[in-house]
Structure 1
Amino acid sequence: MSLVQPQPDTDARALEVLSRVWGYSQFRDVQADIVRTVVGGGNALVLMPTGGGKSLCYQVPSLLRPGTGIVVSPLIALMKDQVDALRQFGVRAAFLNSSLPLQSVREVEAALLAGTLDLLYVAPERLLLPRTLELLRSAPVALFAIDEAHCVSQWGHDFRPEYGQLGVLPQRFPDIPRVALTATADDRTRADILRVLELGGAAQFISSFDRPNIQYRVANKEGPKTQLLDFVHAEHRGDAGIVYCLSRKSVEQTAQWLATQGVDAVPYHAGLSPRERNHAQERFLNDEGVVVVATVAFGMGIDKPNVRFVAHLDLPKSMEGYYQETGRAGRDGLPSTAWMVYGLADVVNVKRMLSQSDAPEDVKRVEAAKLDALLTYCEAATCRRQLLLAYFGEQRDEPCGNCDICLNPPKVRDATREAQMALSAAIRTGNCFGAAHLTDVLLGQPTEKVVGMGHHLLPTFGVGKGHDEKMWRGLIRQLVSLGHLAAGEHYGLSATGKSRPLLKGETTLMLREDSLVPREKVRKRDRDASRSSRAPVDAQDAPLFEALRAWRLQLARQKSVPPYAIFSDATLKAICELRPGSASTLGTVSGVGQRKLADYGEAVLDIVREHSGSGGREAARPALPAERGARANSAVLGMLRGQEQERTPSQPVRGPAPSLFSAPAQAGETAPAPAHTEVADALRELRRELTRETGHSAFVIFPNATLEALADACPRTLADLEGLSGMGPKRIENYGERIVDVVLTALDE
């Protein structure tokens, strides 16, 4: 296709939109290059880790190019949440899927044809309908963004046949730029994406796969539910998390058990009814601190940024699957944990499932290699992050310092002799018995089965008495993981060709000692220290952080949006650290765009003031020139605010949203202290009464700035309330008469 050359001011325009809409001062990594390419009409393939900012790579160009950005998304259940979050930023977004009634479908289609949408999310099944394709031919389309693009490939871990038909886009819309985005794609998957979407000449942007805020940990499975509970209670009590299990039965049992132990946990798997799945998903997205126990059916497209941990109670099937699933933790960049336990049964089960699948032999070989890479990662004695990045072709020269291996380096010892004993036992018993039987033979246990098979007469009977059962089970697990033993149809273990050099003494086997000895119980002091190190904010900021989270949750429920659509945890953390005392300073916080500053700024500032005394940290430093100018204009700005009807957080937006490209909103300082202190005191008492009666927070009743305006004006009638800062029609209707009564009583009139 012929590329439209980017305008000289593309970078400046893109940064202006990024700052005004999303509240970010700069792009990360290669985002700016991607935006520049797509705005200029070029195609792109984007490989970027979960949480790396893929969405902005098509959202910003959609706002800069004429027409509507069409986003192909795999899960219709999450489209509403994605659209709701964008609307909080003032972006004109919509979705088109089977969940909409006919009238809503027509309204969305009309908006698309009229060019009044910035972004439209569609599922591949909907996009491929002849009616939708014809609709897009008649509409102004800015670009096509294919999210989770690895779904086009049978080599990808989430293959979707419908994605394989998206080759219709370059055929029908050859002049509209296409950007394919994914977090994980090996060379085969990448080649399929380029072929199916005809991106042969497209620019390819491959970001670092490193997620430095995630701490990777793997442990032996020794009672997985208890281990999980200890982990959650020690480090993530009250945090949102995802727990992955291999079977539906395990999902339900684990969720139920966690709930009985005081963890707010819900199950999610494909066998549940749509109503049950939707309920679990909505609770996870819209409430704080919910843990979802799920199969891998849960998680793709989840935008919740404050998932603080992802736990695996069973072994994933590939390194790609593991990376994709763990990547759902810590999308906001705050400290998070990827925690996994696994055992011999996991290794055997996954290998058996792979060998017994109906997939072609070449597919089985590829999948077996992926599983072997994951097992090598699990059994590692060196930095896990280095191994993980190396799998995706990225070199890291130094250990990361943020994985269990780096934090607690394991001791390694030569286990060649013990490995030879275990392999010999497998061979001499006929290469058809499981780990339990081999362990009995090695320990010299004359069980009924051992004696009945005559295995008590073998030379290997009792040769391993110098070690305990746990050591032998751990050693056998590692021999299976490393490919020296293979699992047969009935869980029998047999020595492989790879074991011959080891048996002959031509090679040695170095294994981690910690996987061969009993696990030490974590001390309470260590748990507390670990919890403190993983906390999102410092202890001194914790009260303010929790107050902001409580406000966010209440507001999110009123608006029927996820809390993170209001502000992310990372933004709340930045607010706690800065403690802004004015709207102009709050507007400098990353994640506070123009629309959110206008909608929520006053409420946030009130909470900060309540937890910071007079003025907070900002008051401790000299005013910047821009702030002095804002103070000089405070009277004029106060007059302007008085001419507007304030919309409180609990009121719905009426009329069209402000234009995305409207002039930035002005911000002023807090009004001076009221002259009538007795009126102010009476109003504070009224607010406390209303808080107890309604259950709303004080700032929802009316914020401090409104209280000061009321005390200054001393309104004697309902008419006097009109035009006062913060007193919109809803507040006058709800509280007006009581406010007037309080004022008159305080003035003794």
Structure 2
Amino acid sequence: MIGGGDAVVLMPTGGGKSLCYQIPALVREGCAIVVSPLIALMADQVGALQQLGVRAAYLNSTQSFDERREVEEAFLSGELELLYIAPERLSGTGTRELLSRGRLSLIAIDEAHCVSQWGHDFRPDYLALGELAQLWPEVPRIALTATATDRTHREITERLHLERARHFVSSFDRPNITYRIESKNRVQQQLLEFIRTEGFEDGVALTGIVYALSRKSVEKIAKFLSDNGIDAMPYHAGMDPAVREATLRRFLREDGVVVVATIAFGMGIDKPDVRFVAHVDLPKSVEGYYQETGRAGRDGLPSVAWMAYGLADVVQQRRLIDMSDGDQAHRMAQGRLLDAMLALCETATCRRQQLLRYFGQEIAPCGNCDTCLNPPQTWDGTVAAQKALSTVWRLDREYGGQRYGAGHLIDILLGKPNDRTQQHGHERLSTFGIGTELTAQQWQGVFRQLIAQGHLAPHGEYGVLTLTGSSAAVLRGDLPVTFRTEPERTRPARSGGAKRTDTGLSGDDGALFEALRRWRAAVAKEADAPAYTVFANKTLEALAQLRPTSEAELLTVSGIGQAKADKYGSDVLAVIAEFAAA
């Protein structure tokens, strides 16, 4: 980029993508344009750069006319090094005329997966960004994203006309994140138990994000957690904008806050110390899941990605696909995304292997996911599968095409009469009561895994289950079926869980680290800025160990440049000196 070439960059969340355009922007003549979909976060992103002495600004709809005019004048006079703009604004004629009057050093397109209609977060205005190649052919362009399969990668390249760009693809592995997925069983209580176990360290609350599929669920879960002593707040697009903004500011500036949100929350948030991300509903795709879980542990310290999902989630996602406005090709593509997500949930092998294989990367078993730490048992489920599939087949054949969801099928298998079995005569089925060797919860697992393996398919608004092309082979005994054993729920060992700092510091070094952290919190509060924009935890750790006594020694500490030394150096040295004298 410094030399003027185009680039496509695929790096995991927290991998340093921003540096790929920020450094060239500081070296090259002119102003870099950063296309970002994150209007709510632009002020914080720009504020963090300004803390470092970078001349940065943004243009978006939250500004007044005078504020926008001031930024435009600064751009035209050559005073800016970076200018953040949303894709919707960049599509406008006025904005393009403004940029044509200034000098552009480069154009960075962040969250570039939004250009892909096969991706998980498609934004129509991103399609217009392909025109930038014709508008400013001499200006180098860089597209960046943390989540892209080979297909999405190709589409980014084609739609943004980056065929001649250099491609930089780093490892997608985030080894500091422990992945855990379990079946739903009173999910609110499961979530509460998880947070009480993993969301505190030495009695101090940790920062976390909980994702739910609907706004109603977000509100309900946030209230439940709050009622049970967790500092939890809801966040979704249906809330009052002022309340949403206040929630985001608290999350960015305070420790120990849990935000319960729809998936709209979190993209581009550069908060490094999120210690856990929890999902109470099944994500639509592996890409979405990877990006959302990647918001944990950006500082590289141990963090947890936890999810609970059940049969109802699978039925709900299939229903949403069936009822979507897209054509058949689009629905099939969405179905494949869901199939990959189910495969990740139901794998009996290393969870991280399965996740990274989706992005075309092969690794050895990680030893730090639930299936590695507690390998699941499997059992021959062929007979159970035949009983379940036979019940579906007989209802359809013997009762004139009647189809039902898993709940009713389980009642039949367990021989439990209900209004429908009595009204429709289903107690006369030969499969009525033949499944008493399993519990209702175990049968839920059977049906969930039959769907995940493609031997059953939910359809329609009510999620009725129908046979598939492979069902007959299972019924004939030609295709054996293996299931994961439903695990007993146990409290996880803390050794694999989140740690607040995990600095490894002890004695005086640990005490000095805490003193520096208290100083940082006070400075951040006074500046109304996130604490990590002052200094990262790793910088405080280095300060506690090295204990510099001069500005020259300060500048040798990772994370402290001249701008930070000028702004905070004397205060930091005073904290260290006061600690040494105590």
Counterpart residue number, 1:649: none
Partner-residue secondary structure (3-state), 1:410: coil
Counterpart residue number, 2:558: 590
**C-alpha displacement at 1:190, in angstroms?**
2.4
**C-alpha displacement at 1:530, in angstroms?**
5.0
Equivalent residue in structure 2 for 1:341, among 298, 302, 308: 308
**What do the CA deviations read for 1:393-448 (whole angstroms, capped 9, x no partner)?**
1111x101111111111112211111111111121122611212111111122333
**C-alpha displacement at 1:80, in angstroms?**
0.5
Equivalent residue in structure 1 for 2:70, among 107, 115, 120: 107
Counterpart residue number, 2:489: 520
Aligned equivalents of 2:125, 2:198: Cα separation in 1: 41
Q: Is residue 163 from structure 1 mapped to residue 126 from structure 2 by the alignment? A: yes
Equivalent residue in structure 1 for 2:290, among 323, 331, 338: 323
Aligned equivalents of 1:574, 1:365: Cα separation in 2: 51
Counterpart residue number, 2:187: 224
**C-alpha displacement at 1:153, in angstroms?**
2.0
Aligned equivalents of 2:573, 2:60: Cα separation in 1: 39
Equivalent residue in structure 2 for 1:95, among 58, 66, 71: 58
Aligned equivalents of 1:465, 1:105: Cα separation in 2: 69
Alignment of 1:456-475 (within 5 A): 456-475=427-446
Aligned equivalents of 2:385, 2:214: Cα separation in 1: 32
Counterpart residue number, 1:555: 523
**What do the CA deviations read for 1:546-592 (whole angstroms, capped 9, x no partner)?**
43333222211211221111112333344345454554444333222
Counterpart residue number, 1:497: 469
Counterpart residue number, 2:384: 418
Amino acid at match of 1:503: L
Judged with a 3 Å threshold, the aligned counterparts in structure 2 of structure 1 residues 582 and 404 are, in CA distance, closer, same or farther, namely farther
Judged with a 3 Å threshold, the aligned counterparts in structure 2 of structure 1 residues 572 and 230 are, in CA distance, closer, same or farther, namely farther
Kept in 1, the 8 Å contact 2:512–2:576? The answer is: yes
**C-alpha displacement at 1:55, in angstroms?**
0.2
Q: Is residue 302 from structure 1 mapped to residue 276 from structure 2 by the alignment? A: no
Aligned equivalents of 1:57, 1:142: Cα separation in 2: 14
Kept in 2, the 8 Å contact 1:377–1:388? The answer is: yes
Judged with a 3 Å threshold, the aligned counterparts in structure 2 of structure 1 residues 401 and 298 are, in CA distance, closer, same or farther, namely same
Amino acid at match of 1:99: T
Aligned equivalents of 2:262, 2:235: Cα separation in 1: 7
* Bigger RCO (CA 8 Å, 6+ sep): 2
Counterpart residue number, 1:452: 423
Kept in 1, the 8 Å contact 2:210–2:260? The answer is: yes
Alignment of 1:32-47 (within 5 A): 38-47=1-10
Counterpart residue number, 2:399: none
Amino acid at match of 2:231: D
Alignment of 1:167-182 (within 5 A): 167-182=130-145
Please say which of residues 238-247 and 575-584 is displaced more in the overlay: 575-584
Counterpart residue number, 1:662: none
Partner-residue secondary structure (3-state), 2:259: strand
Aligned equivalents of 1:511, 1:535: Cα separation in 2: 39
Aligned equivalents of 1:183, 1:571: Cα separation in 2: 25
Partner-residue secondary structure (3-state), 1:311: strand
**What do the CA deviations read for 1:650-694 (whole angstroms, capped 9, x no partner)?**
xxxxxxxxxxxxxxxxxxxxxxxxxxxxxxxxxxxxxxxxxxxxx
Equivalent residue in structure 2 for 1:508, among 477, 480, 484: 480
Judged with a 3 Å threshold, the aligned counterparts in structure 2 of structure 1 residues 336 and 573 are, in CA distance, closer, same or farther, namely farther
Equivalent residue in structure 2 for 1:378, among 329, 345, 352: 345
Aligned equivalents of 1:534, 1:496: Cα separation in 2: 48
Amino acid at match of 2:24: P
**What do the CA deviations read for 1:466-499 (whole angstroms, capped 9, x no partner)?**
2221111111111122221111222221221122
Judged with a 3 Å threshold, the aligned counterparts in structure 2 of structure 1 residues 276 and 506 are, in CA distance, closer, same or farther, namely same
Partner-residue secondary structure (3-state), 1:497: coil
Counterpart residue number, 1:261: 228
Partner-residue secondary structure (3-state), 2:163: coil
Please say which of residues 134-143 and 528-537 is displaced more in the overlay: 528-537
Alignment of 1:387-466 (within 5 A): 387-396=354-363, 398-430=364-396, 432-466=403-437
Partner-residue secondary structure (3-state), 1:167: helix
Aligned equivalents of 1:542, 1:440: Cα separation in 2: 58
Amino acid at match of 2:366: C
Partner-residue secondary structure (3-state), 1:452: helix
Aligned equivalents of 1:533, 1:40: Cα separation in 2: 42
Aligned equivalents of 2:511, 2:431: Cα separation in 1: 63
Aligned equivalents of 1:145, 1:596: Cα separation in 2: 26
Kept in 1, the 8 Å contact 2:349–2:371? The answer is: yes
Kept in 1, the 8 Å contact 2:404–2:464? The answer is: yes
Aligned equivalents of 1:534, 1:501: Cα separation in 2: 51
Please say which of residues 480-489 and 402-411 is displaced more in the overlay: 480-489
Counterpart residue number, 1:601: 569
Counterpart residue number, 2:168: 205
Counterpart residue number, 1:679: none
Kept in 2, the 8 Å contact 1:484–1:495? The answer is: yes
Amino acid at match of 1:80: A
RMSD of aligned Cα (Å): 1.9
Kept in 1, the 8 Å contact 2:304–2:497? The answer is: no
Alignment of 1:109-124 (within 5 A): 109-124=72-87
Kept in 2, the 8 Å contact 1:97–1:122? The answer is: yes
**What do the CA deviations read for 1:257-298 (whole angstroms, capped 9, x no partner)?**
111222111111111111111111111111112111000111
Equivalent residue in structure 2 for 1:362, among 325, 329, 339: 329
**C-alpha displacement at 1:535, in angstroms?**
4.9
Counterpart residue number, 1:133: 96
Kept in 2, the 8 Å contact 1:234–1:527? The answer is: no
Aligned equivalents of 2:156, 2:148: Cα separation in 1: 9
Amino acid at match of 1:225: Q
TM-score scaled by length of structure 1: 0.73
Partner-residue secondary structure (3-state), 2:197: helix
| Structure 2: segments with no counterpart, 5+ residues | 397-401
**C-alpha displacement at 1:532, in angstroms?**
7.3
Identity percentage of aligned residues = 54
Please say which of residues 127-136 and 570-579 is displaced more in the overlay: 570-579
Please say which of residues 545-554 and 194-203 is displaced more in the overlay: 545-554
Aligned equivalents of 1:233, 1:576: Cα separation in 2: 30
Larger radius of gyration: 1
Kept in 2, the 8 Å contact 1:333–1:570? The answer is: no
**What do the CA deviations read for 1:496-538 (whole angstroms, capped 9, x no partner)?**
112222221112222221x2x5x3342xxx6555557675323
Amino acid at match of 2:328: E
Counterpart residue number, 2:258: 291
